[in-house]
Amino acid sequence: MKDYEIFVEGMHCQGCENLINITLKEMGAINASSDHKSRVVKASFSDEIDVELLKKKIEELGYKVKEVKF
């Protein structure tokens, strides 16, 4: 399993968190949790995922990905 920590700007509420979590799960995330206060999204995937695609999908929702750690 591969864990990712994604730093995202633009989340304002629990609705934002849910939208990102749903998107990550649609991309195959086993676990996804977002915290708009800390601006951190954590996700686990069974296989490696294309980080650029991950960033693109989140940014298509209207948020800005600052950094991805894994």
Domain that holds residue 16: 2-69
Residue 7 contacts residue 66 (beta carbons within 8 Å): yes
8-51 confidence digits (pLDDT tens): 999 999 999 999 999 999 999 999 999 999 999 999 999 989 99
What's the rounded Cα separation, in Å, for the pair 67 and 9?
A: 10
- The model carries a pTM of 0.94
Count the Cβ atoms, other than its own, within 10 Å of residue 30: 13
DSSP letter at 43 equals: E
Q: How far is 46 from 30, CA to CA, in rounded Å?
A: 7
Q: How many domains does the chain have?
A: 1
* pLDDT on residue 64: 98
Which residues on adjacent β-strands are paired with residue 43? 4, 32
CATH number at residue 50: 3.30.70.100
